[in-house]
Structure 1
Amino acid sequence: MLRLLAPLGAVLLLVSSVAMAAEVPTPERAQALLFDAAKLGRADLVPALVAAGADVNARDARGFTALILAAYNDQPAVLDALIAAKADPCLPDRDQGNTAQMGVAFRGHDALAARLLKAGCDVNARNKAGQTALMMAALFGRTAQIDMLIAAGADPRAADASGRTAASVAADQGNAAVAAKLTK
């Protein structure tokens, strides 16, 4: 429980210190708070944290950018604030190579999927296993995202490192309707 409260406490501390103009956090502290703000939906803090030296494209200890954290946690206002602050929506995470687009396909955040598609990233970007956002959407039966991704140019014939396509991923999950849709 304390672990969950720590980020919230840190963000509240920053808000009070910025509001009182008592202290500007160090760039290192601003960076940590930016990751917390991304997860917690505190878009209002993004400009102040960037001004205090937070790098919008830095990766946290687990290899995620603030934008990936905002997308994964369904924080549209933070995603918009980060993009406005020049965060790169196309950067993958450090370890697996997953993009924010892949994260929203995994989590099922359709509105964020649409926002990210407008950012102009490669719709066929691959992670280190050769998987695409379309494959992840197929894995979880995210039909709205499948439609969006295909309309944006996603290649349903692309195969991952093990030779699986989005259709075969859907079929392996027992989702024949999605597999059929992807083979048309």
Structure 2
Amino acid sequence: MAARLFEAARNGDAVTLAAYVDAGVPVDLCNDKGDSLLMLAAYHGRTDVVQALVDRGADVDRLNDRGQAPVAGALFKGEDDVVRVLARAGADPYAGHPTAVDTARMFGREDLLPLFGVDPETGERTEPS
């Protein structure tokens, strides 16, 4: 069953995932690499799944076994809508390695940093967290 849930996260089946989480499946369920349902959905650009998991209390800063955060994965893949959902949910742009700030700067996506209260030029907070 777990494999099916991880596939649902990758493929964008928000209805199925929401139903299973609502029935008791842990919202922060992880695979053998430490990738949470949220990480898989974020990396694959599944905005609806990310929102459904966030709405059910998913840990937006949960790192996988490689120390990567969902928001950095979404930035790396160019999934702007997912980045916006995670920013609204309070994702820490400095969590993990590389951080979302580092990833945005690496890939020329500094335009997204203000969503996190981060100055695009300096990479420092512009607002209190």
TM over 0.5: yes
Unaligned runs of 5+ in 1: 1-28, 159-184
| TM-score, structure 2 as length reference | 0.82
TM alignment of 1:21-170, pairs within 5 A? 29=1, 31-93=2-64, 95-127=65-97, 131-142=98-109, 146-154=110-118, 156=122
Q: Is the 8 A contact 1:90 1:99 kept in 2?
A: yes
Q: Which residue of 2 aligns with 1:15?
A: none
Contact 2:42 2:82 in 1 (8 A): yes
Distance in 2 (CA, whole Å) between partners of 1:119 and 1:151 is 11
Going from structure 1 to structure 2, the CA distance change for 1:152 and 1:40 (only over 3 Å counts) comes to: same
Max Rg structure: 1
Percent identical pairs in the alignment equals: 36
Closer/same/farther in 2, CA of residues 157 and 37 from structure 1, 3 Å limit? closer
Q: 1:51 & 1:152 partners in 2: Cα distance?
A: 29
CA contact (8 A) 2:72 2:103 kept: yes
Q: Distance in 2 between matches of 1:59 and 1:48?
A: 17
- What is the TM-score with the length of structure 1 in the denominator? 0.60
Q: Do 2:101 and 2:123's aligned partners in 1 also have CA atoms closer than 8 Å?
A: no
CA positional deviation for 1:40: 0.6
Instruction: Kindly report the root-mean-square deviation, in angstroms, between the aligned alpha carbons of the 2 structures.
Output: 1.9
State the shift of 1:103 in Å: 0.4
Letter in structure 1 aligned against 2:73? G
Q: Which runs of 4+ in 1 moved over 6 A?
A: none
C-alpha distance 97-154 of structure 1, shift in aligned 2 (>3 A): farther
**What SS is found at the alignment partner of 2:5?**
helix
CA drift of 1:51 comes to 4.2
